[in-house]
Amino acid sequence: MSYVDTHNHQAGWSVDASIPLQELVKEARDLGLLGVTLTDHYDYNGEADNDWCLDVDAYIEHMKDKRQADLNDLLILTGIELGYTPEHKAHMVEVSLRPEFDHTILSLHFHRGIDPYYDPDGVVKGYENHKRFTSTLINDIADSAIAVPKANTIGHYDFFSRYLPWQKSKFNYVDAPDAFDRLFSIMIENGQSLELNAGTIHRLVGKSYSLEEALPDEMVLRRYKELGGHLITIASDAHRSGKLAELTSHLLAQVNALGLTPCYFKEQKPYDMSHSRL
Protein backbone atom coordinates (compact mmCIF):
# COMPACT_ATOMS: atom_id res chain seq x y z
CA MET A 1 0.00 0.00 0.00
CA SER A 2 1.47 3.29 -1.09
CA TYR A 3 1.04 5.61 1.81
CA VAL A 4 2.78 6.83 4.93
CA ASP A 5 1.15 5.54 8.09
CA THR A 6 1.31 8.63 10.29
CA HIS A 7 0.50 7.57 13.84
CA ASN A 8 2.16 4.60 15.56
CA HIS A 9 3.70 3.66 18.88
CA GLN A 10 6.77 1.62 19.84
CA ALA A 11 7.80 -0.44 22.85
CA GLY A 12 10.02 1.37 25.31
CA TRP A 13 8.59 4.80 24.48
CA SER A 14 4.83 4.33 24.85
CA VAL A 15 3.79 2.45 27.96
CA ASP A 16 0.89 0.74 26.14
CA ALA A 17 2.94 -0.38 23.12
CA SER A 18 4.64 -3.76 22.73
CA ILE A 19 6.15 -3.65 19.24
CA PRO A 20 9.82 -2.68 19.02
CA LEU A 21 10.74 -0.11 16.37
CA GLN A 22 12.79 -2.65 14.40
CA GLU A 23 9.80 -4.96 14.08
CA LEU A 24 7.45 -2.15 13.11
CA VAL A 25 9.88 -1.07 10.40
CA LYS A 26 10.10 -4.63 9.09
CA GLU A 27 6.31 -4.86 8.95
CA ALA A 28 6.16 -1.56 7.09
CA ARG A 29 8.66 -2.77 4.50
CA ASP A 30 6.85 -6.11 4.11
CA LEU A 31 3.57 -4.25 3.54
CA GLY A 32 5.18 -1.98 0.96
CA LEU A 33 4.37 1.22 2.83
CA LEU A 34 6.02 4.47 1.79
CA GLY A 35 6.79 5.31 5.36
CA VAL A 36 5.89 5.15 8.98
CA THR A 37 5.74 7.93 11.56
CA LEU A 38 6.45 7.14 15.20
CA THR A 39 4.25 9.24 17.45
CA ASP A 40 4.85 8.10 20.99
CA HIS A 41 2.81 9.38 23.92
CA TYR A 42 3.38 12.68 25.63
CA ASP A 43 0.54 12.96 28.14
CA TYR A 44 1.89 15.64 30.41
CA ASN A 45 0.19 15.98 33.79
CA GLY A 46 2.51 18.55 35.32
CA GLU A 47 5.24 15.98 35.82
CA ALA A 48 7.46 15.00 32.95
CA ASP A 49 8.43 11.67 34.48
CA ASN A 50 4.99 10.03 34.48
CA ASP A 51 4.68 6.70 32.59
CA TRP A 52 2.67 8.22 29.73
CA CYS A 53 5.09 11.00 29.03
CA LEU A 54 8.26 10.33 27.09
CA ASP A 55 11.54 12.16 27.67
CA VAL A 56 11.68 14.47 24.65
CA ASP A 57 15.46 14.82 24.47
CA ALA A 58 16.10 11.10 24.88
CA TYR A 59 13.41 10.26 22.32
CA ILE A 60 14.81 12.67 19.74
CA GLU A 61 18.24 11.16 20.31
CA HIS A 62 16.82 7.63 19.88
CA MET A 63 15.04 8.55 16.63
CA LYS A 64 17.81 10.77 15.26
CA ASP A 65 19.45 8.39 12.84
CA LYS A 66 16.35 6.50 11.86
CA ARG A 67 15.06 8.65 9.03
CA GLN A 68 16.19 7.50 5.59
CA ALA A 69 17.13 10.07 3.01
CA ASP A 70 16.49 7.72 0.09
CA LEU A 71 12.88 8.03 -1.00
CA ASN A 72 13.03 4.60 -2.59
CA ASP A 73 13.43 3.21 0.86
CA LEU A 74 11.05 3.53 3.76
CA LEU A 75 10.64 6.94 5.36
CA ILE A 76 10.93 6.66 9.12
CA LEU A 77 9.66 9.88 10.64
CA THR A 78 9.86 11.24 14.15
CA GLY A 79 6.56 12.40 15.55
CA ILE A 80 4.91 12.80 18.91
CA GLU A 81 1.34 12.48 20.17
CA LEU A 82 0.68 15.37 22.52
CA GLY A 83 -2.13 14.53 24.93
CA TYR A 84 -3.80 17.89 25.48
CA THR A 85 -5.11 19.14 28.80
CA PRO A 86 -6.15 22.79 29.17
CA GLU A 87 -4.15 23.10 32.42
CA HIS A 88 -0.88 22.52 30.59
CA LYS A 89 -1.44 24.29 27.30
CA ALA A 90 1.67 26.49 27.56
CA HIS A 91 3.80 23.40 27.99
CA MET A 92 2.12 21.69 25.01
CA VAL A 93 2.85 24.72 22.85
CA GLU A 94 6.50 24.58 23.88
CA VAL A 95 6.87 20.90 22.95
CA SER A 96 4.96 21.37 19.69
CA LEU A 97 7.54 23.94 18.62
CA ARG A 98 10.54 21.61 18.95
CA PRO A 99 12.07 21.69 15.46
CA GLU A 100 13.40 18.13 15.67
CA PHE A 101 9.92 16.69 15.17
CA ASP A 102 8.68 15.79 11.74
CA HIS A 103 5.09 15.57 12.88
CA THR A 104 3.18 16.67 15.97
CA ILE A 105 -0.28 15.27 16.67
CA LEU A 106 -2.61 16.93 19.14
CA SER A 107 -4.96 14.49 20.86
CA LEU A 108 -7.59 14.66 23.55
CA HIS A 109 -7.61 11.59 25.81
CA PHE A 110 -9.44 13.01 28.84
CA HIS A 111 -12.69 14.87 29.43
CA ARG A 112 -13.07 16.69 32.77
CA GLY A 113 -10.05 14.67 33.91
CA ILE A 114 -11.73 11.34 33.07
CA ASP A 115 -10.25 8.74 30.73
CA PRO A 116 -13.18 7.18 28.82
CA TYR A 117 -11.35 3.87 28.49
CA TYR A 118 -11.32 3.40 32.27
CA ASP A 119 -14.57 5.17 33.14
CA PRO A 120 -17.07 5.20 30.25
CA ASP A 121 -20.03 5.94 32.54
CA GLY A 122 -18.24 8.71 34.41
CA VAL A 123 -17.24 10.51 31.26
CA VAL A 124 -20.87 10.95 30.08
CA LYS A 125 -22.34 11.68 33.50
CA GLY A 126 -24.64 14.70 33.33
CA TYR A 127 -25.02 14.59 29.55
CA GLU A 128 -28.60 14.19 28.39
CA ASN A 129 -27.76 12.46 25.16
CA HIS A 130 -25.16 11.59 22.56
CA LYS A 131 -25.64 14.85 20.67
CA ARG A 132 -24.83 16.97 23.71
CA PHE A 133 -21.77 14.90 24.46
CA THR A 134 -20.51 14.93 20.86
CA SER A 135 -20.94 18.68 20.62
CA THR A 136 -19.04 19.30 23.87
CA LEU A 137 -16.20 17.01 22.87
CA ILE A 138 -15.77 18.46 19.40
CA ASN A 139 -15.77 21.95 20.92
CA ASP A 140 -13.13 20.83 23.42
CA ILE A 141 -11.00 19.62 20.51
CA ALA A 142 -11.55 22.97 18.76
CA ASP A 143 -10.31 24.72 21.92
CA SER A 144 -7.19 22.53 21.89
CA ALA A 145 -6.56 23.43 18.24
CA ILE A 146 -6.72 27.13 19.16
CA ALA A 147 -4.40 26.60 22.14
CA VAL A 148 -1.72 24.68 20.20
CA PRO A 149 -2.00 26.16 16.72
CA LYS A 150 1.34 24.86 15.46
CA ALA A 151 0.51 21.21 16.10
CA ASN A 152 0.31 19.64 12.66
CA THR A 153 -2.62 17.31 13.12
CA ILE A 154 -5.78 16.87 15.13
CA GLY A 155 -5.57 13.22 16.17
CA HIS A 156 -8.57 10.87 16.29
CA TYR A 157 -11.43 13.43 16.61
CA ASP A 158 -13.63 10.41 17.32
CA PHE A 159 -11.51 8.85 20.11
CA PHE A 160 -14.27 9.08 22.74
CA SER A 161 -16.79 7.35 20.47
CA ARG A 162 -14.78 4.15 20.96
CA TYR A 163 -15.64 3.89 24.63
CA LEU A 164 -18.98 5.61 25.29
CA PRO A 165 -21.41 3.38 27.17
CA TRP A 166 -24.26 3.69 24.69
CA GLN A 167 -24.66 1.23 21.81
CA LYS A 168 -24.59 3.83 19.00
CA SER A 169 -21.63 5.97 19.90
CA LYS A 170 -20.19 7.00 16.55
CA PHE A 171 -19.48 10.71 16.06
CA ASN A 172 -21.64 11.93 13.18
CA TYR A 173 -21.74 15.40 11.68
CA VAL A 174 -25.49 15.67 12.14
CA ASP A 175 -25.10 15.37 15.92
CA ALA A 176 -22.92 18.47 16.26
CA PRO A 177 -22.84 20.51 13.03
CA ASP A 178 -21.87 23.82 14.67
CA ALA A 179 -19.08 22.25 16.68
CA PHE A 180 -17.65 20.43 13.64
CA ASP A 181 -17.82 23.62 11.56
CA ARG A 182 -16.02 25.53 14.31
CA LEU A 183 -13.33 22.86 14.64
CA PHE A 184 -12.74 22.67 10.89
CA SER A 185 -12.54 26.45 10.45
CA ILE A 186 -9.86 26.63 13.15
CA MET A 187 -7.90 23.69 11.74
CA ILE A 188 -7.99 25.07 8.20
CA GLU A 189 -6.81 28.45 9.44
CA ASN A 190 -3.97 26.72 11.33
CA GLY A 191 -3.04 24.41 8.41
CA GLN A 192 -3.73 21.32 10.52
CA SER A 193 -4.61 17.96 9.03
CA LEU A 194 -7.58 15.87 10.01
CA GLU A 195 -6.51 12.41 11.11
CA LEU A 196 -8.57 9.34 10.27
CA ASN A 197 -7.66 6.70 12.78
CA ALA A 198 -8.29 3.01 12.17
CA GLY A 199 -8.34 2.34 15.91
CA THR A 200 -11.82 3.87 16.05
CA ILE A 201 -13.11 1.66 13.24
CA HIS A 202 -11.77 -1.38 15.01
CA ARG A 203 -13.55 -0.44 18.26
CA LEU A 204 -16.86 0.46 16.59
CA VAL A 205 -16.93 -2.86 14.74
CA GLY A 206 -16.46 -4.46 18.17
CA LYS A 207 -19.57 -2.53 19.30
CA SER A 208 -21.88 -4.04 16.65
CA TYR A 209 -21.37 -1.59 13.80
CA SER A 210 -20.75 -3.15 10.40
CA LEU A 211 -17.41 -2.25 8.83
CA GLU A 212 -19.10 0.15 6.43
CA GLU A 213 -21.00 1.86 9.26
CA ALA A 214 -17.87 2.09 11.37
CA LEU A 215 -15.93 4.11 8.79
CA PRO A 216 -15.75 7.87 9.46
CA ASP A 217 -19.00 9.69 8.76
CA GLU A 218 -18.95 10.84 5.16
CA MET A 219 -20.72 14.06 6.10
CA VAL A 220 -17.82 14.91 8.41
CA LEU A 221 -15.38 14.55 5.54
CA ARG A 222 -17.59 16.32 3.02
CA ARG A 223 -18.07 19.27 5.33
CA TYR A 224 -14.33 19.48 6.07
CA LYS A 225 -13.75 19.69 2.33
CA GLU A 226 -16.58 22.17 1.76
CA LEU A 227 -15.07 24.53 4.31
CA GLY A 228 -11.73 24.38 2.49
CA GLY A 229 -9.96 21.50 4.24
CA HIS A 230 -7.88 19.09 2.19
CA LEU A 231 -5.13 17.64 4.39
CA ILE A 232 -5.91 14.17 5.71
CA THR A 233 -3.52 11.95 7.63
CA ILE A 234 -4.19 8.21 7.70
CA ALA A 235 -3.29 6.34 10.86
CA SER A 236 -3.40 2.77 12.03
CA ASP A 237 -2.31 3.85 15.55
CA ALA A 238 -0.50 0.51 15.84
CA HIS A 239 0.73 -0.45 19.30
CA ARG A 240 1.58 -4.11 18.71
CA SER A 241 2.53 -6.65 16.02
CA GLY A 242 0.20 -7.15 13.09
CA LYS A 243 -1.69 -3.86 13.51
CA LEU A 244 0.22 -1.64 11.12
CA ALA A 245 -1.95 -0.66 8.12
CA GLU A 246 -4.90 -2.61 9.51
CA LEU A 247 -8.15 -1.28 7.97
CA THR A 248 -6.38 1.72 6.49
CA SER A 249 -7.09 0.67 2.89
CA HIS A 250 -10.75 1.48 3.61
CA LEU A 251 -9.82 4.93 4.85
CA LEU A 252 -7.62 5.59 1.83
CA ALA A 253 -10.41 4.53 -0.52
CA GLN A 254 -12.87 6.82 1.25
CA VAL A 255 -10.51 9.79 1.19
CA ASN A 256 -9.57 9.33 -2.46
CA ALA A 257 -13.20 8.97 -3.51
CA LEU A 258 -13.98 12.33 -1.90
CA GLY A 259 -11.02 14.08 -3.54
CA LEU A 260 -9.25 14.81 -0.25
CA THR A 261 -5.45 14.57 -0.01
CA PRO A 262 -3.77 11.88 2.07
CA CYS A 263 -0.53 13.38 3.34
CA TYR A 264 2.32 13.00 5.77
CA PHE A 265 4.41 15.55 7.62
CA LYS A 266 8.17 15.85 7.35
CA GLU A 267 9.94 18.64 9.23
CA GLN A 268 6.40 19.75 10.11
CA LYS A 269 5.48 20.42 6.47
CA PRO A 270 2.79 18.47 4.61
CA TYR A 271 3.64 16.27 1.60
CA ASP A 272 1.43 14.18 -0.62
CA MET A 273 2.19 10.55 -1.35
CA SER A 274 4.33 11.47 -4.36
CA HIS A 275 6.56 13.35 -1.90
CA SER A 276 5.43 16.72 -3.29
CA ARG A 277 5.17 19.56 -0.86
CA LEU A 278 1.58 20.70 -0.35
CB of residue 70 vs Zn ion: minimum separation in angstroms?
A: 27
Name which of 10 and 225 has its Cβ closer to Zn ion: 10
Considering the complex, state which of residue 34 and residue 105 has its C-beta at the smaller distance from Zn ion.
105
Nearer to Zn ion, 181 or 246 (CB): 246
Residue with the CB atom nearest Zn ion in the bound state:
107
Distance CA 207, CA 151 (A): 31
* CB distance 103 to 192 below 8 Å: no
Q: Give the contact letters, 198-217, x = binds to Zn ion (CB under 5 A), - = no.
A: --------------------
What is the smallest separation between the CB atom of 221 and Zn ion, expressed in angstroms?
Answer: 20
Q: Return the ∠ at Cα 82 (arms to 79 and 86), rounded to 5°.
A: 160
**Closer to Zn ion by Cβ: residue 28 or 225:** 28
Nearer to Zn ion, 107 or 161 (CB): 107
Instruction: Give me the 141-170 binding string for Zn ion, x by CB under 5 A, dash otherwise.
Output: ------------------------------
Taking the complex as a whole, how short is the minimal distance between the CB of residue 54 and Zn ion, in angstroms? 12
Q: Which residues from 92-131 bind Zn ion, rule CB under 5 A?
A: 107
Compute the chain's Rg from CA coordinates.
17
267 vs 78: CA distance, rounded Å: 9
CA pair distance 265, 2, nearest whole angstrom: 15
- Nearer to Zn ion by Cβ, of 107 and 261: the residue is 107
Over the range 237-248, which residues count as b (16 or more CB within 10 Å of their CB) and which as e? bbbeeebbbbbb
Q: Cα–Cα distance between 139 and 260 in angstroms, integer?
A: 23
Interatomic CA distance for residues 119 and 23, integer angstroms: 33
Q: How far is the CB of 214 from Zn ion (least distance, A)?
A: 18
3-state DSSP assignment of residue 76: strand
To Zn ion, the closest distance from the beta carbon of 69 in angstroms equals: 27
Question: Cα torsion for 166, 172, 178, 180, to the nearest 10°?
Answer: 110
Query: Among residues 225 and 233, whose Cβ is nearest to Zn ion?
Result: 233
**Binding residue for Zn ion, selected from 237, 243, 265, 271, defined by CB under 5 A:** 237
Stretch that binds Zn ion, among 64-72, 170-178, 234-242, 248-256 (CB under 5 A): 234-242
| Minimum CB distance to Zn ion smaller for 42 or for 225 | 42
Please tell me the distance from the alpha carbon of residue 20 to that of residue 113, in angstroms, as a whole number.
30
Coil, strand or helix: which one is 201? helix
Which residues 66-95 are close enough to bind Zn ion by CB under 5 A?
81
Q: Which of residues 20-59 bind Zn ion (CB under 5 A)?
A: none
Q: How far is the CB of 162 from Zn ion (least distance, A)?
A: 10
C-alpha distances (whole Å) from 178 to each of 133, 182, 189 are 13, 6, 17
Residues that bind Zn ion (CB under 5 A): 81, 107, 237
